[in-house]
Each structure stands twice: as C-alpha cells, then as structure tokens.
A and B are shown apart, each in its own frame.
Chain A
C-alpha cells in the first residue's frame, strides 16, 4: 500500500511538473498575446521586446508554431511602424525567418500567408517608387493565397481592405472598396472561432477603428 501511495505521489509530482510546463506555456502565451492589444505594447520598440520573448518561447517549446507566428507578427508590425526606413529590411528579414519556422512546424497556412503579405508591404514602404510593383504583387498574391486556404479568415479581408484604403486612388486604391472589404472582415470576425486558444485572433478592434476612420 505504502509503495502504491508513494508511486502515486511520484507520478503526481511528475505530471504536475509537465502540466506546470504546459500551463506555463499557455499562461505566458495567453498573457503576452493579450498584451499585444494594449497601446503600451503596440509601439515599435515594445513590439521588438515581445518578438524576442516569443522567439525565446518558440526556442524552448520547439514543437509549437504559435510563438514563432507571433514573433513574426511583432517584428513585421514593428517594421511597419519604424520611422527610420533603413531598419525595415532587417526587421522584415527577421520576421521572415520566424515565419519560416512557424511554417516548418505546420502552422496555420492562411494566417501565415497574411503575415507574408505584411512583410512584403513593409519592404514596399522602404522605396515605393522602385519597389512598388514587385512587392505590391507579392503582398496581394499572399492575401489571395490566404483567402484560398481559408475563405473565412477575417484577417485576409482586413488586410485587403486596409491596402485598398491606404493605396492612393492613383494607384488603384479605393475608399468605397476598402470599406466594403472591412465590413466583410467584421462579418467574418463575428463568425470566426480560432482553432486553439493561442491561435491568431487579432484585428477585430483595428478593423472597426479603420472602418470608423474611413467613414468620416
């Protein structure tokens, strides 16, 4: 009996340690993903701190694609917010490296395509005159891919809408077209359920905000 109890205790200890690990993963991820929505975190520098953390989590966990996905997300968002355009390519490179790891871990391909589109957009902003055509195509194609992979992914429509809004009308942008896409995005957000707790689910607030701005 004693032996049995002891083995139970040992087992409990072991499983609690592994559970603690996985709980720590979920907790840390959930906390940091949550913080991405806060204005204090959504600055170029703070996002880089977060990107570093997600990379570290990815390195420790080894089998999870989400940390690398968020690392790429933070890096590319930071690159898009950089005032010094000479920093953009380096951050885009880093985002790409993170995204490749997320891809290798069989991450959600539609979500990954969205980040690919953002990376191309970031590179475009460095030199729109010369890079416009090349990266514009890549960015748009990635979103098309993302849509083919999952037509219910609201981020595809958000990014398409955003691109239409921010592209000057001279280059094929359109306010009405952009607004229409954002409305589609909001419908998709209402119906969207991420596959897992830690899977990408960002952008609804931003979509509303964009729509509001566009409607002014």
Chain B
C-alpha cells in the first residue's frame, strides 16, 4: 500500500478511530433537592446526551474529546452550561434553578375569590356558576357556596361576614350597579339581574378590597364582561318558567361585535301545578331585553357597551297576621334600565387608561292592601336614577409594580312617594383614589392606597386608607394581611328622612393563607371587622350604632382525586353583634348564623355526556325577634338549623348543529323544613313562620346555541 493510500485511509477513518467511549452520568435536582425529570442533558454541538428519568438520573456515552460544554435544559428552569472533562467517565450532580419568569408572582388577594377564566388558577370559573346545583344559574346563589356568606334566602343580596345585603356592592366593568337584583316581594327576594354568561370573570371579595371600590362596607362582587365572542351565534332556550333567545354577530374583521337578547318569564303556569304557599294575584312575569356592542379599537384598545331593560310584575295574597280573617295583598311592578359603556387603552410608556360611564334607572310601584277590611289601597313608588363616570390611569412600574390613580363622580336622584306624599333627594357624589402595588421581590408585595369621598346629601368628606401585604411561601402557598377602612352612605330610606346622617364605617383586619395549584385550592382566613356609625332609628335617626364581626373560614376545592369529579367544601364560623336600627343594645342580628357550610360536587360522565351536580348547604339557626320576650332577652330566640340539598342533571348533546343542554334542577330535594324567622302580630299573640314560598322548586329547561356563519363549520368539523 502506497503512502498515499495509507494517508487516505487514515484521513477518512480518523473520526471513527477516536470512538472509544466514556460514560457521563449523574442526577438533576432543583433548588429543593427534588429530582427533575425530563431535563435534556447534552454535550454542546453534538448529538450526545440523554433525558433524565423520573428520579432525575441520566447516563450516556460520549467520545472522549477533552474539555466539552455540557448543557442542561428544562422548560421552567434556567438553562445551565458547565465545562466537563470528557477524557474520563464523569458522575455529575446538576442543580437547576427556576427560571425567573416562571417564578409564580405573589398576588394581592386577601379576602377575594377570583372566578375568572383568564387566569389558570382560579377558584370558580363562569361555567362553574352555571353547573352549581341548587344555584339556578344565579351568580349570587353560586357565590353563597363560598365561605363568608350567609344562606339568607329570605332577603335580597349577599350577606357577608356579619354585614347586611346593602353592604355588598356589585360592580360591572368598574361601574357600580345600583339595583343588581330584580324586585321581589316580602320574604321572596329577587334573583340577580345578570346572566353569568355575560362575564368572563367574577371576583368575590369578602373584605379588604382595593381603593378602586367604595360604598360597600362588607363586600364587593366585581364582574368583568366578556370580550369579543369567538364567532357569530344565536341562542334559544325554553323552560318551565319561560323562553329566551338572542343573536350575537361578529364582524368579518373580527374587531366588532353586537348582540341583542330577549327573555320572557312567567311563573303562573308553574304555580298552577305546584301551588305556592302564598296565592299569586299578579304575574309573576318578567320581560327582559339587553343589547351589547364591543369594538376592538386598536391592538390594545377596547370599547364596550352593555344595555339592559327589564319589566316585571309580581303580586301575592297572604292571610293577614294583624287582622285574622283578612287578606293582605302585595303587588310590585318594576321597571329597570341599566347601561354601561367603558373604554380601555394603553397610552404607551407604561400608562393605561380606563374610562367608563353608566346610567341606570329603577322604578318600583308597590300596591298593598288589606282586604276586605281596608278598601283604600296604599301606593308606594320608589325611583332611583344614577348617572356615573369614572376615569382611571394605571402606570406600570418595573416588572410587576403599578400605580393607579382615578376619580369617579355619581349623580343620584332618589324619589319616593307614599300615597300623595313625596320624599325626594339628589346626591352628588365624588371620589378620588390612589393605590400602588409594590413588589419588593416577586414573592413579597404590598398594596398601599387610599380613597376619599364626598357626598353632597350628607355634606361630609371621608378618607379611607387601605393596605395589604402578600408573601409567597413555596411554589403554591401564600400569606396575606389586609387592613382597610370602608365607608358607605346610609340606605336611601333613612337619608330621605334625615339629611343630617353621616357615613357608616367598617374597618377590616384580615389574615389569610392559601395554597393554589392547578387542581387543588385550599384557603383559610381569619378576620375582625369593626362597625361604627351604623344607622339607628330610635329614638330618632342617628349614627350611634356600632358592632363587630369576627370569624374564621376554610375552603377546599379538589378537581383531581376522583376522575371527572370536582368538589368544594366551605365552612365559616362567624361571631357578630351589632346595635343598629331599633335594637336596644348589641346583639347577634337576625340575618347572621354562627356556622355555615356548603358542599358542592359535580361529576361528569363522559360516556353519556351528562353532568351530575349536588349541593348541600347548612346554616345554624338565626336569631329572631320575639316581642313576648323582655328587653333583656332581645333577639335571643333562634330558628331551627337550615339544611338544603340541591341536585341537577345536565345532558349535553347536539340537535342538528346546535349545541344543546337539557337541564333538570331540583332545589331542596328532601323537602327539609326551612325557617328563616318569624313575623309577629303587633300584639305579639300570633306569629307566622318565614319560609320559602315554594319549598321545593323543580326546573326543567333546554338551551341551544348555534353558529350563524361558516366559522361554526370549523368548530363542527373539529
């Protein structure tokens, strides 16, 4: 063989000759010595390497080539490069650090339950509200399964942590809703006016909330409306209580959408079959309409309009307690309009703008009469008009920190008429707020701010400081502390009679711990709330009332342990006393139970496309006023415990191309006796139980939704 040939062979085969292999092995762990599985270990610029096993170990062969760079990568961790000597076998211990951007940032959320589908880890998603058995697709009813709330199903509103329903404010896209509930009759509260499907996010705050929101002593229900729909669609529904239908159109450029909806509810046919305790003398019927318009004005700008108009008539006859043998008649005719327009845009260099305007009007016409004793009926008319505007600027500071400043103005006209007598007033309310979210580290943050308000009818200014701190422990846990002052105008029915009243005040102190992972949520909170300047009606109207509320709450949700099953449990202990209205001294009020608990379970059977839901709610007995007791025993009697089991079955299917749900819901399945209190005749000799008008309600309905353009075909072809 010539030299040439020899050289040729050497040159061509050179790479292969170097192929004597050495072993590189080791283990990859994270900062807490937990094994990291699935990490990719490689020698830079070569194919050599391995993926770590479940125990974090790896092992592979390389061709010795002196010093080489070893790279370890894993999603969620900072990539690591190290020099190794490949001349001989190596045993390596590699520690990967969490990538900074993957570090979960602490959120400031004392007292609040966020129910939004935007974020991955939320407590309640919009669909959860609809599928909660016994809640009847009502937002507030579903919220009543969360800790801090009372099972006050005889009164309107959300009663939170020893507060009344009036102390909870409802906010849609930052704008206050003056009348979030439809008008009910005594002992039969109205439902929430707004469908859960309107909202992409629901935040229920049971205290310690942001300075953005005012005029709620106890709680805020913050609703955020949906953005542009994914497609044009039409929907229709029919149930034992009524019909509804709507269309929603998305423009071709997918930047604009508009929709209209209408519904008609009439309970009379149902009440012909299932007799309510009280006899119907008007309706009950509701006509509702709504319209919305949304436009994406730029990449970051969004304009939204929502308008709602609703008419309802409802009336009942019941046996007179005061005049045995007579009949009391009560009828209410309600008319409500709510409109809301908001605009959001990024102004550049970290500034964001929010502007909103809203107008609403609500009229209740009430007729009461005692028949046949008193042939002259009593007419009560109440009308509230509210115009409001709000402006807020947010400036991002650094990675997470932000500063918010804003102002709002409300013009309210409250009219009321009692037969021929009128009592009207106008209030100009202005408020300003500033708040900073300060991240000391991604895991430790504070929110500091304040709010100042002026109400012309009260003629007084208030200032409410708010502060909270949040500290993240571990990957999923966090501690939060919150403090804040909250002011609220007295209810219109008191301001009407006495313009000299002052704001009522509550101070919140909250400490909470929560553990939030994709499939589990655990949280517990302790709180102390101090009430001052509550309205009293004796000897005359004054602000000398006060009180406190303290308690502990626990919430647990688990979506993993049982396949296709999602359940949550909440428990609240409440100790509260207050002196307000005509109370002689501080007592536990008649809307507060010491112990409340809920269990909600949902089980989806994929094979038959059916969702089964079960909700159990418990509340210990509530105090009630018994005029036969001496003053020293005021409000010392208690009702029986409250128990309620609701069940629902929803079957999902398609009829032609329409997505269809059949729903059967039964409230109070076991027909357990529920007593919310007693009402006494003025001589104290006779009393009536306050009980649900319909002890067990059976709802059967069918809802359809279908696409109205070709984009739907894509979905159907999925």
Which A residues fall within an 8 A CB radius of B?
A: 5-6, 9-10, 12-13, 16-17, 20, 24, 28, 48-49, 51-53, 55-57, 59-60, 86, 89-90, 93-94, 97, 129-130, 133-134, 136-137, 139-141, 144, 160, 163-164, 167-173, 177
Task: Please tell me if the beta carbons of B75 and A51 are within 8 angstroms of each other in the complex.
Answer: no
Question: Of B337-345, B547-555, B650-658, B692-700, which stretch is located at the interface?
Answer: B650-658
- In the bound complex, do residue A170 and residue B40 qualify as a contact, i.e. CB atoms below 8 Å apart? no
Instruction: List 20 A-B residue pairs with CB atoms under 8 Å apart, sorted by A's residue number.
Output: A12-B8, A24-B47, A49-B50, A49-B51, A53-B47, A56-B40, A56-B46, A56-B48, A90-B76, A129-B604, A130-B117, A139-B718, A140-B714, A140-B715, A163-B718, A168-B606, A169-B654, A170-B659, A172-B716, A172-B717
Q: In the complex, what residues of A have CB within 8 A of residue B44's CB?
A: 59-60
**Contact between chains at B11 and A133 (CB < 8 Å):** no
The residue that A17 contacts in the complex, of B4, B15, B38, with Cβ under 8 A, is B15
**Cβ contact of B40, chosen from A52, A137, A139, cutoff 8 A:** A52
Q: Output the nearest chain B residue to A169 by Cβ-Cβ distance.
A: B654
Residue tally, chain B, CB below 8 Å to A: 46
How far apart are the CA atoms of A48 and B518 in the complex, in Å? 23
* Per-position 1/0 for B679-718, Cβ under 8 A of A: 0000000000000000000000000000000000011111
- B144 CB-CB contact with A under 8 Å: no
A140 to B710, CA, bound (A): 13
Chain B residues closer than 8 Å to A13, beta-carbon distance: 8, 10-12, 14
| Distance in Å: Cβ of A128 to nearest Cβ of chain B | 9
Chain B residues, Cβ within 8 Å of A169:
653-654
* Complex: A166 Cα to B377 Cα, angstroms: 65
- B:587-625 near A, CB below 8 Å: 604, 606, 609
Q: Does B42 contact A (CB under 8 A)?
A: yes
Distance of B65 from chain A, by nearest CB (Å): 13
CB-defined contacts of B15 to chain A, threshold 8 Å: 17, 20
With contacts A9-B7, A86-B518, A136-B718 taken as known, whether A130 is within 8 angstroms of B125 at the C-beta atoms is yes
**CB <8 Å contact, B718 and A48:** no
Binding site for A on B (CB under 8 A): 4, 7-8, 10-12, 14-15, 38, 40-42, 44-51, 71, 73, 75-76, 117, 125, 127, 230-231, 518-519, 560, 604, 606, 609, 652-654, 657, 659-660, 714-718
**Contact between A86 and B519 (Cβ–Cβ < 8 Å)?**
yes
Supposing A12-B11, A52-B49 touch, asked if A170 and B230 sit within 8 A by C-beta, the answer is no
Q: From residue A13, how far is it (CB to closest CB) to chain B in Å?
A: 3
Residues on B with C-beta less than 8 A from A167 are 718
**Chain B contacts for A172, CB-based, 8 A:** 654, 657, 659, 715-718
Nearest 6 A/B pairs, CB to CB: A13-B11, A52-B51, A172-B716, A170-B653, A56-B42, A52-B40
Are B714 and A144 closer than 8 Å at their CB atoms? yes
* Complex alpha-carbon distance, A137 and B715, angstroms: 6
Given contacts A53-B51, A90-B76, 15 further A-B contacts (CB under 8 A): A5-B4, A9-B11, A12-B8, A13-B10, A48-B38, A49-B50, A55-B40, A86-B518, A90-B75, A129-B604, A136-B718, A140-B715, A160-B717, A170-B660, A172-B715
Q: Establish whether residues A48 and B7, one from each chain, have CB atoms under 8 Å apart when the complex forms.
A: no
In the bound complex, CA of A200 to CA of B46 (Å)? 23
**How many Å from the CB of B607 to the closest CB on chain A?**
9
The smallest beta-carbon distance between B567 and chain A, in angstroms, is 14
Bound complex: CA A133 to CA B560 (Å): 22
A134 touches B519 (CB 8 A): no
The CA-CA distance from A9 to B13 in the complex, in Å, is: 13
Report whether B717 and A60 are in contact in the complex, using a CB–CB cutoff of 8 Å: no
Q: Complex: how many Å from CA A13 to CA B13?
A: 9
Q: Is there an interface contact between B46 and A12, defined as CB atoms closer than 8 Å?
A: no
Chain A residues with Cβ below 8 Å from B73 are 55
**A52 adjacent to B11 (CB under 8 Å):** no
Contacts of B45 in A (CB 8 A): 59-60
Q: Which residues of A contact B14 (CB under 8 A)?
A: 13, 17
Query: Are B50 and A137 neighbours in the complex by a CB distance under 8 Å?
Result: no
CA distance A60 to B652 in the complex (A): 50
Chain A residues near B654 (CB-CB < 8 A): 169-172
Q: Which residues of B contact A57 (CB under 8 A)?
A: 47
Min Cβ gap A165→B in Å is 11
Docked-complex contact A137 and B653, CB < 8 angstroms: no
Complex formed: what's the CA distance from A71 to B163 in Å?
57
A168 to chain B: which residues have CB within 8 Å? 606, 609
Measured between C-beta atoms, what is the minimum distance from A142 to chain B in Å? 10
Our pick among A9, A60, A86 for the contact of B46 (Cβ within 8 Å) is A60
Partner of B652, one of A28, A48, A170: A170
Given contacts A17-B14, A56-B49, contact A177 B230 (CB under 8 A): no
Residues from chain A with Cβ under 8 Å of B71 in the complex? 59
- Of the candidates B4, B11, B715, the one whose C-beta lies within 8 Å of that of A16 is B11
Q: Nearest residue in A to B6 (C-beta to C-beta)?
A: A9
Report how far A76 CA is from B445 CA in the complex, Å: 37
Given contacts A97-B75, A129-B604, A140-B717, contact A28 B659 (CB under 8 A): no
Contacts of A48 in B (CB 8 A): 38, 51
Q: A16-B12, A59-B71, A171-B659 are in contact. Are A9 and B51 (CB under 8 A)?
A: no
Q: How far is the CA of A59 from the CA of B519 in the complex (A)?
A: 35
- With a cutoff of 8 Å between Cβ atoms, the chain A residues found around residue B8 in the complex are 9, 12-13
B120 nearest in chain A by CB position: A89
Looking at the assembled complex, report how far the CB atom of B624 sits from the nearest CB atom of chain A, in whole angstroms: 42
Contact between B76 and A133 (Cβ–Cβ < 8 Å)?
Answer: no
Q: State whether A130 touches B75 (Cβ < 8 A).
A: no
B166 to chain A, nearest CB (A): 34
| A5 CA / B7 CA spacing, docked (Å) | 10
A129 and B613 CA atoms in complex are apart in Å by: 14
Q: Are A59 and B42 in contact (CB under 8 A)?
A: yes
